[in-house]
Structure formats: C-alpha cells, structure tokens
Amino acid sequence: MTDLTSPAKHAPAAGPSVPGAAVYPGLDDWRQLPIAQQPTWADSPSFAPVVKELSTLPPLVFAGEVDVLRSRLAQAAQGKAFLLQGGDCAETFEAATADKISARVKTILQMAVVLTYGAQLPVIKMGRMAGQFAKPRSSNDETRDGVTLPAYRGDIVNGYDFTPESRQHDPARMLKAYHTSASTLNLIRAFTQGGFADLRSVHEWNRGFTSNPAHSRYEKLAKDIDNAIKFMASCGADFEALKTVEFFASHEALLLDYERAMTRIDSRTGLPYDTSAHFLWIGERTRDLEQAHVEFLSRVRNPIGVKLGPNTSPDDALRLIEKLDPNREPGRLTFITRMGANNIREKLPNLVEKVTASGAQVLWVTDPMHGNTVTSPNGYKTRNFDDVIDEVRGFFEVHQALGTFPGGLHVEMTGDDVAECLGGADPIDQEAFLTGYESVCDPRLNHKQSLEMAFLVAGALSQSK
C-alpha cells in the first residue's frame, strides 16, 4: 500500500517550523515521519514566505460549522441521516467559474432531493469542492512521445499542460488554491443560503431529467416525490424554511504543508481545527499508520474520512480507529470504502463485522468510483456506469445482511454534459470521449448519469426500508 514516491523534505519538528503558525502540542509531529505523495518544492525560495502567508490568512471555514457537521455525521453513523459527497476528482483553477460551480451544486441538490425521498432521511450535502486541488499519483512521471516530465499532481502543485515550465512544482500555487477555494465557497454559500436551493425549484429541475424518454423508468419515483411535495403544500408546510440548505466543503488532505498552515486554534474551545474545509479525508495511498498523514489528521478536530481499498485488513481498520478516533466520538470517523464491484461483496463483510464487534461506531460510506477504473479501448481512463451502480448495490446488500448502516455515497461527478464514464440510460460511448472528455484526472459521472445514480440509489434505499 505504501507509495513513497517522494522523500520527506521536512526538518524534524522543534515547535512550529513556520513563524506565525498556530501552536498546539503534536501539530508538527508528522514532520518526523515518512511522508508520501508530496511535491518536491521545500527548497524553493518562495516556499517559506508562501506557507507563512497561508498561516495568517483568514480561515475558510468556521470551527463551529465543523462541529455542526460532526453532529450531522454522527446521525448518519446511527442510520438517522445519509451523506452525499460529490464533485470533481480534481478541481482546476480555470474551471472555478460561476456556471460550472452552480451546475455542480445544482446537481448535488437535485440528487439530494431524490435520495431524501428514497431514504426517508435527512441528506447531508457535501462537495468535493472548494479545495479539491491535490492529487496522489501512481507514478512520479508521465511520458508522451518519448518526453518524460513530472506527473500532474493537481493545480495546487503544478499545471496540466505538458511542458517543463508547467509541470514544475510551484509553492505559489498554494496561495492560488486558497483564493480559488475562498471564491468557490463564497458562491456555494450564496447559492445555498440565498434562495437558489429552494426545494420546489430543485424539484422542478428534476422534471427536465425525467422528461427525457431515456429516463422514463424513473417517472414513477419522480411522480411520487411530486405528490409528496403537493401533500406538504396542502398541509401548509413552511417552504420558506426549505429555501436554504446546509452545504459542507471537503477535500483530500494530501498536502500537509497547506493543511498545517491552514490549521488554527479555535477561540471557543482552544483546540486545533484545519480550517481549509469542514471535512478532510486521507487517501488510499497515504493511510499508512506509521506515516505523516494519519499522524497529522489525528491532531485536528475536524471529522476525518479514510479511503479503504480492497486490501484493507480488519486490523488496519481497527488501528486507524484507535489512532484517529481514540475516544470513539460519534461523527469523528468515516470509512469510505472503494473496493471495486468485483470485490465488495467478498471483502467488505469481514471489515464491517470486525469493526462492529470492536464496539466502534464509524460512518460507512461507499465510493463506487475508484475501484472501478478501467482504460477504454481508445485509451481513456474511464468507468462503466453499471460497475459503479453494482458496487453501490453490493454496499447496500452487505450492510443489510449485517444489520449495519449504509451511511452515504461518495462520487466523482460534475453538473456538466461531459463524456467520461461509459453507459447510463442515455448512454455515453467511447467515441464521445474524443470531444467530451474534460477531466484532468479521473472520469466523472456527468449531470444525467449523476441524477440517474440518485434515482437508482433512492429506489434501492426505499426497498430496504
């Protein structure tokens, strides 16, 4: 599992290594450990000034919001709420436009309405948005036509263009990532608090989806939702209160220089919060218990996710719980399993059984994307819609059989009409990739595929009730 693609470039911790950084015991202990998947930029003259500036900029989220999220996730861990977490594999600076951000928020809200109906539970809405700029890679390099350059590691590290200048790791990109996250989050807050998220409008948008003949099989569910809303209106439900929604921001906490610099001591509690997002997760490639990421994330108060691939042993899971959630605090720890459709029914039960038997109550979420990545015959990184859905079904089956809670869905998706994943009722084929493939990293469900997934999952959820 360990993928030490670049050596640690940090001096041993002796208090905060950055003047002005928040001081709290243990926040710099990670600097003494091996660290995977980091840029090689610590010797750049701009590195120290950038990190110093980040340490003094305003937080992107407020610690009180982070606490609210933890309480919402605690509900989901007990089967009383459901998490929907979605967004790009890799956000880019260029695509942080009003149109693209609103399309993605809109799609997540549309999915959430359908899931709320299917699950008959509150849906916690969370974007892989406003900070999802750093990517772990399988290889340090990329070769095209005999030319080898550093791999693209996300806009916070280097550029996607295949030139030596663009692929150079540049610490100043951390500041651009901060400001792009701030403007994205500002727009998300405006949309979700300013009336755009009105339940009735979101429901109207879904009519566009079901009016497509390809989606006629979902009309019945859409009609049921319509009837439920009409019934609420007849009963005098307060739709004003349904004009705003809570929306949380999350990303993979990969670049520890950035995450450490964004960590602040909360004035209310005196405790450290990573204020770059409400929720941070540790990736499959960086969840080694003896290494820096797990150590650093164990020190902040945010709810933490860990991606678990098919090779995760029950012992790994139990040790992660011990390190990241020693107090067994409800909502603190989310396991995001990404096993692959072929593995989930075989590998997930043992993990869930052993964790449950230990007395821990984590939130179980399925990421049906990362275990189902394949290369299309014409050479694109893709996923089959049917495999993605099959993994979600497997996730529900396993939890149903064990009497545990399938608490959420983590997807790579966009609100745009792209062609990156194969299939769906209005099917995408590989020829469409030639003009419609936009992702700079992994393939996302497009707008229609995302909504279709929500309808299918809602159907499965309502059957399991």
Ligand X SMILES: O=C[C@H](O)[C@H](O)COP(=O)(O)O
282: left (phi over 0), alpha (psi -120 to 50) or beta: beta
In 221-346, beta strands by DSSP E: 248-252, 263-265, 272-274, 279-282, 304-308, 333-337
Decide: is 420 part of the binding site for Mn ion (CB under 5 A): no
CA dist., res. 198 & res. 451, Å (int): 18
- Measured from the CB atom, is 89 or 109 closer to ligand PEP? 89
CB of 87 to ligand X, least distance (A): 12
- Measured from the CB atom, is 72 or 307 closer to ligand PEP? 307
- Measured from the CB atom, is 28 or 442 closer to Mn ion? 442
CA dist., res. 131 & res. 109, Å (int): 19
Residue with tokens 């280097």: 158
x/- letters, 82..121, toward Mn ion (CB under 5 A) = -------x--------------------------------
List, in order, residues 6 or more apart from 360 with CB less than 8 Å away: 318, 321, 325, 328, 333
Site for ligand PEP in 431-450 (CB under 6 A): 442
Query: Does the annotation place 441 within a ligand binding site?
Result: no
253 binds, among ligand PEP, Mn ion, ligand X, none (CB under 5 to 8 A by kind): none
x/- letters, 367..406, toward ligand PEP (CB under 6 A) = ---x------------------------------------
CB of 152 to ligand X, least distance (A): 9
- Measured from the CB atom, is 371 or 406 closer to ligand PEP? 371
CA dist., res. 115 & res. 83, Å (int): 10
CA dist., res. 430 & res. 128, Å (int): 26
CB of 370 to ligand PEP, least distance (A): 4
284 binds, among ligand PEP, ligand X, Mn ion, none (CB under 5 to 8 A by kind): ligand PEP
In single-letter form, the type of residue at position 7 comes to: P
Decide: is 136 part of the binding site for ligand PEP (CB under 6 A): yes
List, in order, residues 6 or more apart from 237 with CB less than 8 Å away: none
CB of 435 to ligand PEP, least distance (A): 24
Give the pair of three-digit tokens for residue 316. Answer: 């790994």
Query: Does the annotation place 104 within a ligand binding site?
Result: no
Which listed residue (170, 284, 288, 295) binds ligand PEP by CB under 6 A?
284
Report how far apart, in Å, the C-alpha atoms of 297 and of each of 16, 19, 392, 433 are: 16, 21, 28, 38
- Measured from the CB atom, is 131 or 330 closer to ligand X? 131
- Measured from the CB atom, is 138 or 234 closer to Mn ion? 138
CA dist., res. 393 & res. 385, Å (int): 12
Pairing of strands 141-144, 82-87: unpaired
Which listed residue (67, 390, 442, 452) binds Mn ion by CB under 5 A?
442
Beta bridge partners of 265: 272
φ, ψ dihedrals at 454, nearest 5°: -60, -40
Query: Does the annotation place 285 within a ligand binding site?
Result: yes
φ, ψ dihedrals at 237, nearest 5°: -60, 145
CA dist., res. 75 & res. 315, Å (int): 26
Contact 249, 68 (CB under 8 A): no
338 binds, among Mn ion, ligand X, ligand PEP, none (CB under 5 to 8 A by kind): ligand PEP
Which listed residue (87, 154, 283, 423) binds ligand PEP by CB under 6 A?
283
Q: Please give the residue ranges that form the binding site for ligand X (CB under 6 A).
A: 89, 135-138, 370, 441-442
Pairing of strands 374-375, 279-282: unpaired
- Measured from the CB atom, is 197 or 282 closer to ligand PEP? 282
Residue with tokens 């806009």: 155
CA dist., res. 149 & res. 186, Å (int): 35
Query: Does the annotation place 338 within a ligand binding site?
Result: yes
- Measured from the CB atom, is 105 or 441 closer to ligand X? 441
In single-letter form, the type of residue at position 105 comes to: V
CA dist., res. 288 & res. 296, Å (int): 12
Binding footprint of ligand PEP, residue count (CB under 6 A): 10
> If you ran DSSP here, which 8-state letter would residue 35 be given?
-
Closest residue to ligand X, judged by C-beta, is 138
Decide: is 67 part of the binding site for Mn ion (CB under 5 A): no
307 binds, among ligand X, ligand PEP, Mn ion, none (CB under 5 to 8 A by kind): ligand PEP
- Measured from the CB atom, is 370 or 399 closer to ligand PEP? 370
Return the SS3 of 82.
strand
List, in order, residues 6 or more apart from 266 with CB less than 8 Å away: 63, 272, 273, 301
137 binds, among ligand PEP, ligand X, Mn ion, none (CB under 5 to 8 A by kind): ligand X
CB of 441 to Mn ion, least distance (A): 6
Rule CB under 5 A: which residues touch Mn ion? 89, 442
Q: Give the residue numbers of the binding site for Mn(2+).
A: 89, 370, 412, 442
Rule CB under 6 A: which residues touch ligand PEP? 89, 136, 252, 283-285, 307, 338, 370, 442
Q: Give the residue numbers of the binding site for phosphoenolpyruvate.
A: 128, 284-285, 307, 338
